[in-house]
Structure 1
């Protein structure tokens, strides 16, 4: 490589072309369609979180509320964002001791399923 040209991402050079209209890119935002087993596990997790919410207030309730959109199995959510939301829910559930343990275990199961 000569000079100081460093390219990160797309680099397009066009020479001697006519009627060029641009570059077509078909990329997604990192979200993936979830397998049916994961969708079912997330559905069960939602049910468990709803039961747990009755015991939460203040900042813990806010954390759970903020995490819920990323736990929508039908939404196009990047994997890392979904994992972050799951870890948040597990953390809050863990602070509740035995009451939160089933939720923490369900989160762990979903994370394992997502990891493949």
Structure 2
């Protein structure tokens, strides 16, 4: 039948009245943890390694174990990590973000993942 909505989703029927504003949805996306953000960065780094120019691959490869160490280790709150470890992680993420930016469109997901992790470290945003 015309007008039937059996495919799911929202269905709204308004009969009369004034000043209808429509449907307002309030969806709050869950904020990823630092560990989740680092997992995403590490996975994308492994996926995109072949795309990295040979002259940048050394820096890229040096950043990977720094970021993967936190992913593979038992999770610990970022506030308990020593300041030098946070700085090392920050430098690795900045390096990865720079290389991802150079990759262009193919590096965009990695760049966004690195930025998200940096924001969770309190850098940028």
1:71-86 counterparts in 2 under 5 A?
Answer: 71=67, 72-73=69-70, 74=73, 78-86=85-93
Partner residue of 2:4?
none
Q: Secondary structure at 1:54's aligned position in 2? A: helix
Give me the TM-score of the superposition, normalised by structure 2. 0.58
**Between Structure 1 and Structure 2, how many residues are aligned?**
81
In structure 1, runs of 5+ residues without a counterpart are: 1-35
- Is 1:101 equivalent to 2:122 in the alignment? no
Q: 1:41 aligns with which of 37, 44, 49?
A: 37
1:60 and 2:56 aligned: yes
More helix, by proportion? 2
Distance 2:50 2:61 in 1: 12
Deviations 1:47-90 (A, max 9, x none): 11111102124121111101112212138771111100000000
CA distance in 2, matches of 1:50, 1:114: 22
Misfit runs of 4+, over 3 Å: none
